[in-house]
Structure 1
Amino acid sequence: MFKRVAAVSMATLMAGAVFAGCGNNASSSSTDSKTDSSAASSDTKSTGTGKVYWLNFKPEIDETLQELAKTYTEKTGVDVKVTTAASGTYFQTLTSEMDKSNPPTLFVIGNQQGVKDWGDYALDLKDTAIAKELSTDAYNLTDENGKLVSIGYCYECYGIIANPELVEKAGYKMDDIKNFEGLKKVAEGIHSKADELGFDAFSSSDMDDSSSWRFTGHMANLEYFYEEKAAGKTWTECPATITGEFMPNFKNLYDLCINNSLTDPKDLATGGHDAENEFKTQKAAFFVNGSWEYAAVSEAVPKATMIPYYCGVDGEEKAGLNCGTENCWAVNSKVSEDDQKATIDFMVWLVSDADASKKMVDQLGIMPYKNAPKSSNGFLNDADTYTNNGCYVMDWATNYQPNVDEYRAALVSALNAYNADQSDANWDAVKSAFVDGWATQYKAANAQ
């Protein structure tokens, strides 16, 4: 899950930590997992010459994959085996399985470190049948030569969760919020008459461990992402330094959150405010969080929707949500062409067959494929709508925070001082924690 994984070292993350879910709940992948389970029995006869062996990354979907593998074999005669690595052991299992005489034909390469380590084992997926099924290339991973090493098969998102009914009750419309100027007008308008309305603009932005990651991890991403965008190149490894060019934009949104809220900024340091419940009980119109909150809030706020991190950047009317994944398919380049074709055919079936793709989406939340059904998760559908409307995806550049525990701890300390006294000097300390702190922790992480 994002919060938990982001709290470990970057080296551990890049070694293959499982991004099974997000937020501050227990990981859904802690369910019973199978370390070697096959959908096709040993006496299954394939009518073709190719076979499929999927080394699965997500323990929580093992049961569904076993059912789908069995169904596909019954329909086509193609032998499909699914082996699911125990949680936290994927790359150890992959190393072991790749050394065997019948290695996986389908496996996961989920980040740039994986591209470096396993790219030679990956077929170039450019122009393949499965690549043509994609609805976006935002979750694809390529190597330094442009080879399409792996493609995302699901993703998560975060941004600002909004209650349209409260926005309208305050005299505004969601269509009024297309950029920071619109968001600011609505939020400040709600806050100015909160007593009259019976609700405020933003839920609490606590800085204790249960909440601070929403700002020092997630919201911090807007600064990193726009640095990437301005440079015209997405990060593929942790940069040694950042410029802080978009700190004024981070400040725009952060100030709006803490100064138009149920809770006085001076009271944020110790926590104790339940931001989720504040939103669910309709005490606040906006809640900074992610797609993993949909089940928790949608029953109480059925029209809840998610909007981007509007922060005053030029052209942000075309901004989408912060979306990312480490769940990316790779096809083994070392197996036979028949096995490669059988594997790609199986992948296409998973994302395009009505029944199969529905089962996949029900488990994964959303799949970035043209013929996959819509998700039942409204926030993920919001992300998909932005993308389909030509909006840019804000990738998870925040994953590259160096020495993440120490880096974020310094951000929390600086933000707490600023929350207590919003002086220029205290904001300068926040900027220093962002920018100078990055360089310091990069050196520490790389023993420089």
Structure 2
Amino acid sequence: MKKIIAMLLALVMVLGLAACATKTEPAQPEETTPAETETTPATTEETAPAETETEEPAATEATGSVYYLNFKPEADEAWQKLAATYTEQTGVPVKVVTAASGTYDTTLAAELDKSSAPTLFQCGNQGAINSYGDYCYPFDGTAIMDQMTTDAFNLKGEDGQTLAIGYCYEAFGIIVNKALLEKAGHSIDEITNFESLKAVADDIHARADELGFDAFSSAGLEGSSSWRFSGHLANMPLYYEFRDDGVTAQPATITGAYLNNFKNIWDLYTTDSATTGAALATATGDESEAEFGEGKAAFYQNGSWEYSNLTGTFGMNPDDLAMIPIYCGVDGEEEAGLCAGTENCWAINNEASEEDIQATIDFLVWVVTSDEGTTMLAQEFGPCPFKDAKEPENVFFQDANKYTADGKYVVTWAFNWTPAVDDWRAAVVDALTQYSAGTGDWSAVETAFVQGWATQYAKENA
């Protein structure tokens, strides 16, 4: 009799544990609207007998699927191919949808509200965690976390749980065509601060007809390009203000102490260029990239992610490429390095089914350990914080590393603390557009920057 009772108790305990294991937590809606494309693999699994240490056991049959809402249009083709390869190898459906440039937040919000919501999405900064943290499945203890070499780029919730993981880090600055500089009688070594940058750019612009190229590619304010300035260029005044004030968390207000420096570099971009004034409102990112890639401009503000396009699509010689810091006239900027950090952070939807969550984890582990996945990440995204990551052949990362090795300070990504990022940036772009067209003045840019921050912070934290 005692034996029977013991067996019954054991059975109850097993059933209880199984019930706990299948529990999922609710999540809340999010941002971003997706732009579709698809390839679908999904893996299913179960807890198999003590197998590998790298992962939660995979099932013999694929019962889950993956839906990745990608936010980088320039990486869409690479993700589509990789997803198709994974599905071919595993039978797990992986759908990749890419949000149109500048629409990720609204796309994500719309997609998360659907019954077939993304299982994998981007949550690239603390503001996004504040907005979408309720949707984020904790990575702690998962197989993908076991593959990481650092948690420096990961984002955590208030309780310390890891809600998004940084899968690569990037650098941005001013990309330089050294061959064109030499053709104009200059050298990259001349440029060590804003004053020297302006001197070289002014000279090239003044002789553009003679040289056959201008100084800067277009600083377009159309949606596919404007993020370079409302996000990346805006990082410069934010970084220096936060550095001076010792800011270590998202501030409720900012002072705009370095907005004159922002104006310095913006005016240079939009004066020493073939595209100026009202034409900037419709100038696109593709146009700016092509101007530089086709040798029509010596300088182009963008990031390390541009390397594959410039050397592949445009056939530029890597030896002719370099990246220098964004100089804007700040005291001591001769000691600055490149802007480095990441907004590339994966989050898993905790409202997805248990099978789809596991399928998504399995897919990520394959991406960061397989030859196909690590090759794609190295080519498209550069250095990645995973044990099996490949070294990227990207001269821009070599430049970033050299600045650091030479003792230059890294300009970190202060814009990751922007509240309601899309709304704040949209107001800054609108003010810049009017200022550049001559229909508004710089004070409107300052208002959008400073007051806009306080307004969006208050809304987000109401």
Rounded Cα–Cα distance in structure 2 between residues aligned with 1:150 and 1:330: 8
**Is 2:446 the counterpart of 1:431?**
yes
Query: What is residue 9 of structure 2 aligned with on the other side?
Result: none
Rounded Cα–Cα distance in structure 2 between residues aligned with 1:107 and 1:403: 17
For residue 30 of structure 2, the aligned residue among 15, 28, 34 is: 15
Contact 1:142 1:150 in 2 (8 A): yes
Give runs of aligned pairs for residues 345-360 of structure 1, distance below 5 A.
351=368, 357-360=374-377
**Is 2:418 the counterpart of 1:400?**
yes
**Is 2:215 the counterpart of 1:173?**
no
Provide the secondary structure at the position in 1 that maps to 2:174: strand
Query: What is residue 38 of structure 2 aligned with on the other side?
Result: 32
**Is 2:138 the counterpart of 1:141?**
no
**Is 2:254 the counterpart of 1:242?**
yes
For residue 306 of structure 1, the aligned residue among 309, 323, 326 is: 323
Shift of 1:64: 2.9
Residues 31, 225 of structure 1: CA spacing in aligned structure 2 closer, same or farther, 3 A cutoff?
Answer: same
Residues 55, 377 of structure 1: CA spacing in aligned structure 2 closer, same or farther, 3 A cutoff?
Answer: farther
Residues 91, 379 of structure 1: CA spacing in aligned structure 2 closer, same or farther, 3 A cutoff?
Answer: farther
Shift of 1:248: 1.8
Rounded Cα–Cα distance in structure 1 between residues aligned with 2:454 and 2:282: 29
For residue 328 of structure 1, the aligned residue among 346, 369, 376 is: 346
Residues 153, 54 of structure 1: CA spacing in aligned structure 2 closer, same or farther, 3 A cutoff?
Answer: farther
Provide the secondary structure at the position in 2 that maps to 1:162: strand
Length-normalised TM-score, structure 1: 0.66
Query: What is residue 8 of structure 1 aligned with on the other side?
Result: none
- The range that moved more, 396-405 or 296-305, is 396-405
**Is 2:222 the counterpart of 1:218?**
no
Root mean square deviation of aligned Cα: 5.0
- The range that moved more, 253-262 or 190-199, is 190-199
Residues 149, 31 of structure 1: CA spacing in aligned structure 2 closer, same or farther, 3 A cutoff?
Answer: closer
Name the amino acid aligned to 2:271: N
Name the amino acid aligned to 2:453: W
**Is 2:267 the counterpart of 1:252?**
no
Report Cα offsets for 1:369-412 as digits up to 9, x if no partner.
46522335655665566567775253261672547457634653
For residue 375 of structure 1, the aligned residue among 356, 369, 392 is: 392
Contact 1:324 1:396 in 2 (8 A): no
Give runs of aligned pairs for residues 73-84 of structure 1, distance below 5 A.
none
Contact 1:123 1:330 in 2 (8 A): no
**Is 2:74 the counterpart of 1:57?**
no
Provide the secondary structure at the position in 2 that maps to 1:319: strand
Provide the secondary structure at the position in 2 that maps to 1:30: coil
For residue 278 of structure 1, the aligned residue among 262, 269, 291 is: 291
Report Cα offsets for 1:303-342 as digits up to 9, x if no partner.
333333222334543332354224336799xxxxxx99xx
Rounded Cα–Cα distance in structure 1 between residues aligned with 2:43 and 2:460: 44
Rounded Cα–Cα distance in structure 2 between residues aligned with 1:307 and 1:271: 27
Name the amino acid aligned to 2:30: A
Rounded Cα–Cα distance in structure 2 between residues aligned with 1:192 and 1:349: 53
Contact 1:39 1:66 in 2 (8 A): no
Shift of 1:285: 0.6
Identity among equivalent positions (%) equals 35
**Is 2:367 the counterpart of 1:361?**
no
Report Cα offsets for 1:250-296 as digits up to 9, x if no partner.
12211221232224x44545546843333233222112234554444
Name the amino acid aligned to 1:433: A
Shift of 1:96: 8.6
Rounded Cα–Cα distance in structure 2 between residues aligned with 1:440 and 1:109: 22
Query: What is residue 166 of structure 2 aligned with on the other side?
Result: 152
Residues 350, 315 of structure 1: CA spacing in aligned structure 2 closer, same or farther, 3 A cutoff?
Answer: farther
Query: What is residue 61 of structure 2 aligned with on the other side?
Result: none
List runs of 5+ in structure 1 lacking aligned partners: 1-12, 19-26, 74-79, 98-103, 333-338
Rounded Cα–Cα distance in structure 2 between residues aligned with 1:418 and 1:58: 34
Rounded Cα–Cα distance in structure 2 between residues aligned with 1:300 and 1:177: 26
User: How many equivalent pairs are there?
Assistant: 395
Rounded Cα–Cα distance in structure 2 between residues aligned with 1:241 and 1:381: 36
Rounded Cα–Cα distance in structure 1 between residues aligned with 2:411 and 2:65: 29
Name the amino acid aligned to 1:279: F
Name the amino acid aligned to 1:284: A
Rounded Cα–Cα distance in structure 1 between residues aligned with 2:47 and 2:387: 32
Rounded Cα–Cα distance in structure 2 between residues aligned with 1:121 and 1:39: 19
Contact 1:250 1:311 in 2 (8 A): yes
Rounded Cα–Cα distance in structure 1 between residues aligned with 2:169 and 2:175: 17
Query: What is residue 103 of structure 2 aligned with on the other side?
Result: none
Rounded Cα–Cα distance in structure 1 between residues aligned with 2:88 and 2:461: 50
Residues 117, 254 of structure 1: CA spacing in aligned structure 2 closer, same or farther, 3 A cutoff?
Answer: same
Name the amino acid aligned to 1:306: M
Residues 93, 122 of structure 1: CA spacing in aligned structure 2 closer, same or farther, 3 A cutoff?
Answer: farther
Contact 1:387 1:393 in 2 (8 A): no
Rounded Cα–Cα distance in structure 2 between residues aligned with 1:68 and 1:46: 24
Report Cα offsets for 1:196-237 as digits up to 9, x if no partner.
43322112334455544432343223222333333334545x
Contact 2:264 2:328 in 1 (8 A): yes
Contact 1:362 1:375 in 2 (8 A): yes
Of structures 1 and 2, the larger Rg is shown by: 2
List runs of 5+ in structure 2 lacking aligned partners: 1-27, 59-63, 71-75, 99-106, 351-356
Rounded Cα–Cα distance in structure 2 between residues aligned with 1:408 and 1:43: 45
Residues 39, 403 of structure 1: CA spacing in aligned structure 2 closer, same or farther, 3 A cutoff?
Answer: closer
Rounded Cα–Cα distance in structure 2 between residues aligned with 1:361 and 1:246: 35
Provide the secondary structure at the position in 1 that maps to 2:140: coil
Query: What is residue 200 of structure 2 aligned with on the other side?
Result: 186
